[in-house]
Amino acid sequence: MTTSPRIGVLAVQGDVREHVQALHTLGVATSTVRRPAELEGLDGLVIPGGESTVMDKLVRAFDLQGPLRERIAGGMPVYGSCAGMIMLADRVADATSDQQTLGGMDLLVRRNAFGRQVDSFEVDLSIPAVRDGESEPVRAVFIRAPWVEEVGGAVEVLAEVPADGSSGERGGKVVMARQDNLLVTSFHPEVTGDLRVHEYFVDLVRGA
């Protein structure tokens, strides 16, 4: 594995440009993925936020579901933010009747768990796994975000919403997790300018 990986961003729907820019800022070779052939030569993949049901339908329409599942099963590192978290979960609460996921992570994720667009919020998270993440909190932006309701034994929880008086019922909810080469966040680090989550994923890709 080289020290200069190529990371793709799934570009069927969602906030693709922001993730591409974050990776470019870190000096990572980046390409967008809309067709199975565009997975060739990639060392990792980002699945952006967006609308998980639309993303699922487009992934199937573009004949990407099978190739993506194959690469995930083969150990390719993948990072999913928000809708990407849903796409990587094995189980989804409140899924639509025909909704499918790529799977790979032993998670039960609830769609839109933090509320509608008007319920979007920001909070500081302690994420010891990322650089200076314990002493310098990560500002996390949640937009119609899912949360993790159940984690399997192979899943490492990396961050939870602080369980303090200001957090209400969302306090203590799991919002970042990792299983082997798969990483998910409920929040959108690509919109804040804080690149530490992307940096953590790039390091994961380099070590794969």
Residue 119 confidence (pLDDT): 61
* Catalytic choice (18, 19, 160, 188): 188
- Any catalytic annotation for residue 190? yes
Amino acid 1: pLDDT: 43
Q: What is the DSSP letter of 39?
A: G
Q: Return per-residue pLDDT of the chain as tens, 208 residues.
A: 446 899 999 999 999 999 999 999 999 999 999 999 999 999 999 999 999 999 999 999 999 999 999 999 999 999 999 999 999 999 999 899 999 999 999 999 999 888 766 567 889 999 999 999 999 999 999 998 999 999 999 999 999 998 875 556 777 899 999 999 999 999 999 999 999 999 999 999 999 9
Q: Give the model's pLDDT for residue 166.
A: 59
Q: Which of 145, 144, 151, 147 is nearest to 160 (CA)?
A: 147
Report yes or no on whether pTM surpasses 0.85: yes
Q: Which stretch of DSSP H or E encloses residue 110?
A: strand 105-110
Closest to 10 (Cα-Cα) out of 19, 22, 1: 19
Of the listed 18, 19, 82, 160, which one is catalytic? 82
Q: 156: how many CB neighbours lie within 10 A of its CB?
A: 12
Dihedral, 155, 157, 158, 162 alpha carbons, nearest 10: 160
The CA distance from 106 to 162, in Å, is 23
Which pLDDT score, from 0 to 100, does residue 141 have? 94
Instruction: Check if the beta carbon of residue 205 is closer than 8 Å to that of residue 43.
Output: yes
Q: Is 19 a catalytic residue?
A: no
CA–CA distance, 112 with 79 (Å, rounded to integer): 19
